[in-house]
Amino acid sequence: MPSIFDHQDFKKYRNAWDARQKELTYRGGYYDGSIYQRTRDGLWFLGPKANGSVKPLFLPFARAVDIDAGSIPSGWEFPKTEAKADVWSKARDALFDASKWDTNGVLFVHYGAKYGVSGLRVSDYNNKVIVSPADPTRFMLIYGDMYSSEPTMALWIEYRVDENNKRYEYAEVITPATISTYKDGESYAYGTAEVVYANPQKRIPIVECVHINDGTELGECTYQKAIVLLDEVNDMATRLSETIKKNEEPQTVITGADATDLQRGSDWAWFLMNPEASAQFLVPQIDIEGVLSFIKEIKVGVHDALPELSFDELRKAGQIATQTIELQLIEFVIKVQLTRPNYDRALTEAMKIAGAAAKRLNLPAIAPLDDPELILDKKRPVLPVMPKDAIDLEMAQIELQNMRAGNVAKAGA
């Protein structure tokens, strides 16, 4: 299929785009189960035992993504100590309502947990401003150099189907000045828009963030460390499958008989005329129980690599205090505390862009978000706080304040 990367101006970005797609598709395969399919096919000789042992290795990945998507946002609240918190909250609610964030917003963290990188795109059209989670497999930001904080260009590429049910490549090239559209690598005007039209936002309207910052461009997805373990299972399945294929027609050793005493009746049997003769097939021995034992060890390793799965241990404990829960889920709490700032920074930046667009379009409900002081609450809880625990905490704070006031009074006397 023709592509925008066939265009002379964009050929230089093909390798970077392909490398990005390869890595993100690879990571996504552990979420959607396509990697599991390959592993299962490699261990077909184990029969039902393969499905029963291998499939549970992959099930936790989707679950970990769902838990991250539900835990990291925590309402996207602003600090209650900020004087503008109420104004910002109303503007955020107006933006989220216009963006259908209650159903679409979950994809922001979902994409990041699944792929290791996520994005937000701010759009304004028909006198309306919205912010939408951006699938990282559909865009790539381009910077002038490694020290640039703002991208100079963005490529947005996805595949669509036309009125004749024919698949084609839709592409946008976005710069702070213009937005250009392409179809199968050729300039193309969609709808009533021009082929090249002015970018009303005067900046790249896409913000990107990583899930876990490891210093690389694509960061780490939520199950990155578990991938290493699953790759060992995949490698084992590949080796065993290759071994079996190589021995589909094993060598046969026949002893106690001359060639004239042999007769091959089919692909599966030798007839030996000499009753003292014997035949033996030279095939490698496969330790099936050892393979299954290895898979069980990997399953334990996968569980340990995903702190999100620690919730399993709490199901048996019943209702316990929030402080106790946080101690038992400390690894998960730390993980959220490491990942949340990445999403907060991206969402804050996207809200500022949306606020600026709202100002330009005279939309006062959203315009207050165009504020350099805009900031999300860094101290919002990771885990939901039970009402009783919230009351106990408030009483403890009051008692501490009274104690401090008493000490100050004594010191003054």
Half-sphere exposure of 111 (CA within 13 A, CB side): 22
What integer pLDDT is reported at residue 230 of this predicted model?
A: 76
What integer pLDDT is reported at residue 273 of this predicted model?
A: 62
Task: Report the range of poorest mean pLDDT among 2-6, 132-136, 286-290.
Answer: 286-290
The average pLDDT across 122-145 equals 95
The average pLDDT across 102-121 equals 97
* 310 compared with 61, residue with greater pLDDT: 61
Residue 390 has pLDDT above 50, yes or no: no
pLDDT in tens, 140-162: 999 988 777 899 999 999 999 99
What integer pLDDT is reported at residue 389 of this predicted model?
A: 47
Burial class (CB in 10 A: 0-12, 13-18, 19+), 248: exposed
Token code pair at residue 118: 């996520």
Mean pLDDT of the chain: 81
CB burial string 188-209: b at 16+ within 10 A, e below: eeeeeeeeeeeeebeebbbbbb
Residue type at 115 in one-letter notation: Y
279: Cβ contacts below 8 Å, ≥ 6 apart: 252, 253, 254, 255, 270, 272
What integer pLDDT is reported at residue 30 of this predicted model?
A: 87
Place of tokens 């030798």: 270
Token code pair at residue 149: 């904080």
pLDDT category at 393 given cuts 50, 70, 90 is very low
What integer pLDDT is reported at residue 32 of this predicted model?
A: 85
CB 342 within 8 A of CB 210: yes
The reported pTM is 0.79
Please state the three-class secondary structure of 181-210 as a single string. Answer: EEECCEECCCCCCCCEEECCCCCCCEEEEE
* 11 compared with 271, residue with greater pLDDT: 11
Burial class (CB in 10 A: 0-12, 13-18, 19+), 210: buried
